[in-house]
Structure 1
Amino acid sequence: MVTSSSQNTPSPANFPAAAQILLIFGCLCKFGGVDLCFIELRLIYNIAPQDNRYSEIVRCNNPTSRSTYNSTPSKLFMAYVSTTWPMSPINISERVGTPPHYQVLITTEHIIPDYVFVCVKFPVRSEYYYLYAASSSPGILVFFDLSNPKEIVMPCIVCTSTTLIPIGHISSQSDLANLWDTSNTQNLHGGTMLTSVWNKKPGAVCGISLGRFKETDSSVVCMLNLLSGRYNFTYVSTVGYYIDFNRLIGNMDIRRILNEKFVEHLTSTKSIIYEMKLAEIDFVIVTQFPRAENSIWGVFTPFESSIWWSILVSCVGISIVLQFQGKGLPNNFSGLRSVHDFLLVQSLLFGQAIADEVIKKVKNRKIGLPVLAIWFFVCYILMENLYQGSIYSDLTVIYPPNVPKTFQGLVASNMTIFTTSVAFRSYRDSNRKATSFLKMFIIPEVLMKNFSQRYNKFVNKMNSKMEYIHGANKDVSMVKNMSKFLQIRSNTTSKWVSTRGTFAIMDVLQDLELYILSLRTVGTRLVIQNNADASIRCSILYAGGRNCIAPKIQAFLRHLAETGILGRFKLLEQANRKMHFIKQFGTEIYSKFVAKLNSNFKEVKVFHESWNGNEVEESVGALWHVLALCSVMVAFASVILIWELICKRICKS
């Protein structure tokens, strides 16, 4: 069954007259460096498998091309592939009556040649190349008949029609390729392309502006509509539709997660990858807006407790030093004098102009210098600068809350994590089951990797904190409940989860942007995003069957990406999605959003932007307390001054 390349070209006279076709064809067509495959349908001819001398002519005229001869023995129903490489058997069928197209499909699937020449008896019937359009072979299919050396047949593999082409019209390899493109790849005659996309309006033309981009449009649907219009095919969802295999031209897997199961699918089906992109999974923290200190404690508590304790210890230590190192004072302890010294040091720390009096009372220079250093550090640096600066900041600047910015910090915190991103499982009926993208796809895939016990524990803990909310990326009820501090019902546990405190939302970036935008537009909750470097990323693939139309699809998608058309569709899809999502909040909020969308002005976000009048008055409550305290002190000092003046006059009189 193995054929070998001959160094000398056989003479045409040594072959039967019926074999002259490939001698002429081999002389006319020089296939430089391409893979050739010759198939003899044994159900049509009853020729011995060794009678493959006609293929030897082309082999000798194309020494750089890898050529293959395939024939099915009458009894064993096995196909043996003979090449210039080692021979390998291919099991076709164990039953009698194997369909004639099966030999073509199984041979081209294992070899993947560039040109496939099939020896048949004219006329060529459609069952000879049944399902060839959807097979994994990109090879150009040509039928020939040894009894008709003047013509060949190149079929329309989708429209199931054949045309006899005079051999004299084929003078080069490019002529064959152009004829194949004209008959098949340039026009697929309405063939069926299977996809996982559910399209309500197939064939609709997408607009290139936001006003013409409809709510049902998406970047994937627009891409497929352009693709189907360019090559004249019809794409059908793999869910809930009857598939006509006679007109099947292949399949496209859209937005599939790159996991081990899909890798096995790509390998087994010999699929081609059209595009791969990274989907980012981020989280945001939703909490309450911080409020200004509206009591007198804002004046006395600008520091942490450790700073206050260090100040107190310094005051006590300096007071003790003054007890035993004071000039003109006995070296014994006096409670009344200690209180006097402590008040004196406190006055110094609060910026009173009596520092010289304290320094002059230290009689020992070795002790006076360290005490002076402590005084300068505490008084002039800490109290006058830090204390006054902190008081000013507390009365004018509102600090954001301290929330986790990484996934490690989020899992370690005691926060509920909401997730809404949805994924659909593939079923052969019209009822598609929606489930959580993170909990049912990403997290199980990560756990299957089994990186380490510690990492698996971290992922399981994060999964236990997550509550799946279905339909939140289309219905604004979840965002409304979050804005009004109401409870939300979880689809995972069917329990009501409170949103009054601080919580997190973890989703793919496209869904997360909706919630960030809507929550900030409503303005009742503070939304804090995580660090950009802390995102989780997964690979999303656009793939399809490797067949004769696959190179055309790949080139067309590359053209859409390079010209910016695909990027434009993605931008319009996201903007259109945001507009329809915000529109559900009402006219007032929607008008505010549209005004910002149509403006190039980037507004500075402040925490008190959405407060009412009462909250604005409360935000300066500490200032009123300080003014009241100062007024009381001034009044008290005025009373003391008046009392001293009265007493002085009484004494003089």
Structure 2
Amino acid sequence: MNYISNLFLCFITPTVSLISIVEHFLDVPNPGTLQFIFASDIASKADFEQIQSYLAKMIRQNNRSPVLVHRLLYDPELIDETTISFLERNNRALFSQARYTVLHVISTNMTFTDYKQSQTLFMANVLLYDNPTYIFLIVRSPISRNYYRYYPNSNGNSILIIITDTLLFIPCIVCRDLPPNEQIQGLNGLKIDQIWKSRNNDMQGKSVTLVISVTSWSPVEAKCGHNIINYYESNPPHRCVISVLTQRYNFTVIPTMGKFNMDNFVGRLSFRQYLNNGFITRLANERALVYKVTFSEIEFVIVTDHPTLRNDFAVFLYPFDAPTWTLIFLSAIGITIVGRLGLRKVGHQNSSMFSDVLRISSILLGQVEGNTLKLFKSKRIAWFLLPVWFGIA
């Protein structure tokens, strides 16, 4: 007799790993792919050996993650005119989308100012073409805003971490003050994300340009809501979108045609753009990191606000515009007058003019109560009333 037993293989992988960047060890969930980018202005054996030993140390300390290595040789005189692109691997299944990029620029013949300029341009290219999850920028002197002054103009959304052998900084991109030195002990990926968001979700009142004509934009605060009378005439839709965004992220909107200080510039807004093939092609030519575009129909329902002490009567008025209210008022007056004339002919003069107007108004607004229809119980009243009802209302 043959016995068949099931064999189960269980592979246990850590959900949190310890990655090492230079001398810093960080607990991060699912570290993904580690990418090392080394750039040098001279191709020497000593330089190569330095990079090799430096790289080998970090690879040994991060032996659980896939590794991508780029070694670049650049000309300092042509760095402003050079486009740096990083080749994609054919087998993307081997490399996680969560990428930790270490950028290290080495210079032997440049001044410190030129070195910072070159390293800044390298970082801008990494943001534009590679856009990793995190960028660890290894620098000589982290106390300089030149390292991330190009960040607002980039199309990437990487979290930037500036490090040396002993210090680590998480900058506020638009702040005037330099970032404080972070305490390495207990710092993990979640805390890095929280620090980055807390410092960079506030644009500090800096300028965002609006791609729109000056005549159609006014800095006056828009009264936004989904029950405003003549909404599209007095408040174009983009005004309320801008109002919500400026309150959420604390920035100032100025039209493109206006004058503004480029030092305070943090981005731009655009409306009335149709995502057709021509527009997507133009974005792709601008290298705006358009990976995929899908079109979907969105259904939505507009409801009124919950009534409050401040807007309870306003909510009552919102469903109609001024001409409609005028017509309802004139109809109520006309129908009431005709109805009272009919009542006089049948000998009824008990109710007041004011109460009759209220009853007629309630009928026109759909708020009918039990005694309202008593006005129309006589056929003689109906003969006068029906022509006015269908002619005016």
Q: TM-score, normalised by structure 1?
A: 0.35
Offset at residue 205 of structure 1 (A) = 5.4
Structure 2 distance, partners of 1:253, 1:274, is 17
Q: Which ranges in structure 2 are unaligned for 5 or more consecutive residues?
A: 1-19, 92-109, 306-313, 333-360, 368-388
Residue 253 of structure 2: aligned partner: 235
Distance 1:50 1:112, change over 3 A: farther
Residue 265 of structure 2: aligned partner: 248
Deviation string 1:339-368 (CA, Å, 9 cap, x unpaired) is xxxxxxxxxxxxxxxxxxxxxxxxxxxxxx
- Asked if residue 264 in structure 1 is aligned to residue 265 in structure 2, the reply is no
Offset at residue 206 of structure 1 (A) = 2.8
Residue 198 of structure 2: aligned partner: 182
Q: Which ranges in structure 1 are unaligned for 5 or more consecutive residues?
A: 1-20, 87-95, 279-538, 540-560, 602-607, 612-653
Corresponding residue to 1:165 among 181, 184, 202 = 181
Distance 1:140 1:610, change over 3 A: same
- Asked if residue 112 in structure 1 is aligned to residue 131 in structure 2, the reply is yes
Offset at residue 111 of structure 1 (A) = 0.7
Residue 29 of structure 1: aligned partner: 27
> Given that residues 35 and 115 in structure 1 are in contact (C-alpha distance below 8 angstroms), is that contact kept between their aligned partners in structure 2?
no
Deviation string 1:505-552 (CA, Å, 9 cap, x unpaired) is xxxxxxxxxxxxxxxxxxxxxxxxxxxxxxxxxx9xxxxxxxxxxxxx
Structure 1 distance, partners of 2:224, 2:246, is 13
Distance 1:117 1:193, change over 3 A: same
Deviation string 1:311-366 (CA, Å, 9 cap, x unpaired) is xxxxxxxxxxxxxxxxxxxxxxxxxxxxxxxxxxxxxxxxxxxxxxxxxxxxxxxx
Offset at residue 218 of structure 1 (A) = 3.9
Offset at residue 161 of structure 1 (A) = 3.1
Distance 1:205 1:68, change over 3 A: farther
Residue 153 of structure 1: aligned partner: 169
Please give the residue correspondences for 1:186-197 in structure 2 after superposition, counting only pairs within 5 Å.
187-196=202-211
Structure 2 distance, partners of 1:177, 1:111, is 19
Deviation string 1:154-179 (CA, Å, 9 cap, x unpaired) is 22111243224245245311121111
Structure 1 distance, partners of 2:137, 2:232, is 49
Offset at residue 209 of structure 1 (A) = 5.0
Structure 2 distance, partners of 1:251, 1:273, is 21
Structure 2 distance, partners of 1:274, 1:38, is 30
Structure 2 distance, partners of 1:49, 1:577, is 74
- Asked if residue 579 in structure 1 is aligned to residue 321 in structure 2, the reply is yes
> Given that residues 203 and 228 in structure 1 are in contact (C-alpha distance below 8 angstroms), is that contact kept between their aligned partners in structure 2?
no
Q: Which one-letter code corresponds to 2:266 in the other structure?
A: I
Identical amino acids, percent of aligned pairs: 16
> Given that residues 144 and 151 in structure 1 are in contact (C-alpha distance below 8 angstroms), is that contact kept between their aligned partners in structure 2?
yes
Offset at residue 82 of structure 1 (A) = 7.2
- Asked if residue 48 in structure 1 is aligned to residue 63 in structure 2, the reply is no
Residue 73 of structure 1: aligned partner: 74
- Asked if residue 221 in structure 1 is aligned to residue 220 in structure 2, the reply is no
Structure 1 distance, partners of 2:35, 2:293, is 27
Offset at residue 181 of structure 1 (A) = 1.0
Structure 2 distance, partners of 1:122, 1:252, is 34
Please give the residue correspondences for 1:509-528 in structure 2 after superposition, counting only pairs within 5 Å.
none
Deviation string 1:538-577 (CA, Å, 9 cap, x unpaired) is x9xxxxxxxxxxxxxxxxxxxxx99x7x8769xx9xx989
Please give the residue correspondences for 1:461-480 in structure 2 after superposition, counting only pairs within 5 Å.
none
Specify the SS of the correspondent of 1:48. helix
Q: Which of the pair is proportionally richer in helix?
A: 1
Distance 1:132 1:209, change over 3 A: same
Q: Which one-letter code corresponds to 1:165 in the other structure?
A: N
After superposition, the CA RMSD in angstroms is: 4.8
Deviation string 1:202-234 (CA, Å, 9 cap, x unpaired) is 555535654797963344322221221112112
Distance 1:57 1:232, change over 3 A: farther
Specify the SS of the correspondent of 1:124. coil
What number of residue pairs does the alignment pair up? 277
> Given that residues 49 and 71 in structure 1 are in contact (C-alpha distance below 8 angstroms), is that contact kept between their aligned partners in structure 2?
no
Distance 1:167 1:82, change over 3 A: farther
Specify the SS of the correspondent of 2:267. strand
**Higher RCO, Cα 8 Å, sep 6+:** 1
Q: Which one-letter code corresponds to 1:178 in the other structure?
A: Q
Deviation string 1:454-477 (CA, Å, 9 cap, x unpaired) is xxxxxxxxxxxxxxxxxxxxxxxx
Please give the residue correspondences for 1:257-336 in structure 2 after superposition, counting only pairs within 5 Å.
257-267=274-284, 268-270=287-289
Residue 367 of structure 1: aligned partner: none
Offset at residue 243 of structure 1 (A) = 4.2
Structure 2 distance, partners of 1:33, 1:593, is 72
- Asked if residue 103 in structure 1 is aligned to residue 104 in structure 2, the reply is no
Offset at residue 120 of structure 1 (A) = 1.5
Distance 1:248 1:578, change over 3 A: farther
Q: Which one-letter code corresponds to 1:32 in the other structure?
A: N
Distance 1:38 1:275, change over 3 A: same
Distance 1:258 1:80, change over 3 A: closer
Q: Which one-letter code corresponds to 1:118 in the other structure?
A: L
- Asked if residue 131 in structure 1 is aligned to residue 161 in structure 2, the reply is no
> Given that residues 153 and 164 in structure 1 are in contact (C-alpha distance below 8 angstroms), is that contact kept between their aligned partners in structure 2?
yes
> Given that residues 142 and 162 in structure 2 are in contact (C-alpha distance below 8 angstroms), is that contact kept between their aligned partners in structure 1?
no
Corresponding residue to 1:599 among 365, 369, 380 = 365
Structure 2 distance, partners of 1:107, 1:156, is 19
> Given that residues 208 and 267 in structure 2 are in contact (C-alpha distance below 8 angstroms), is that contact kept between their aligned partners in structure 1?
yes
Deviation string 1:353-395 (CA, Å, 9 cap, x unpaired) is xxxxxxxxxxxxxxxxxxxxxxxxxxxxxxxxxxxxxxxxxxx
Distance 1:578 1:600, change over 3 A: closer
Structure 1 distance, partners of 2:154, 2:319, is 38
Specify the SS of the correspondent of 1:128. helix
Distance 1:577 1:211, change over 3 A: closer
Structure 2 distance, partners of 1:220, 1:260, is 23
Structure 2 distance, partners of 1:137, 1:593, is 61
- Asked if residue 140 in structure 1 is aligned to residue 159 in structure 2, the reply is yes
Q: TM-score, normalised by structure 2?
A: 0.54
> Given that residues 158 and 189 in structure 1 are in contact (C-alpha distance below 8 angstroms), is that contact kept between their aligned partners in structure 2?
yes
